[in-house]
Amino acid sequence: MKSKSYIKFDYKLDRPSTIYIKPTCDNENKVCGAKGSPIYYMSSGEGYTYFMLLKPDTITGFRYSVRAVGDDEPTKGAYISMGDNVKALTK
């Protein structure tokens, strides 16, 4: 199953921190391609959107980016990663 959801990882470089998953649709707080898929919109707050998968499944086709928290633009020298081959697996 293909997904148009986007995953964004924000983290702090100076210490370990939680990774947040944020599915977005053109920077809106909603899940793209949710109609007819096992993705269910749950809630949003503090700038993050949360979702769950309603049945065991492997969803591919996510796009993600990694950047330092609080930076509008990627920090020079910081670890920045982007890709579109992420899988989300429920048990």
Give domain limits for the chain.
Answer: 6-89
Q: What is the mean pLDDT of residues 53-82?
A: 47
Closest CA to 67 of 1, 26, 20, 24: 20
DSSP state of 66: E
Whether the CA torsion 34, 83, 80, 16 is positive or negative: it is positive
Contact criterion met (CB below 8 Å) for 11 and 66 = yes
Counts for the chain of helices (H) and strands (E), in that order = 0, 5
Summarize pLDDT for 15-66 with one digit per residue, the tens.
Answer: 443 344 444 455 444 445 444 443 444 433 334 344 455 555 555 544 444 4
Question: Which burial class, exposed, middle or buried, applies to 4 when counting CB atoms under 10 A from its CB (0-12, 13-18, 19+)?
Answer: middle
Q: Please give the model's pTM, rounded to 2 decimal places.
A: 0.24
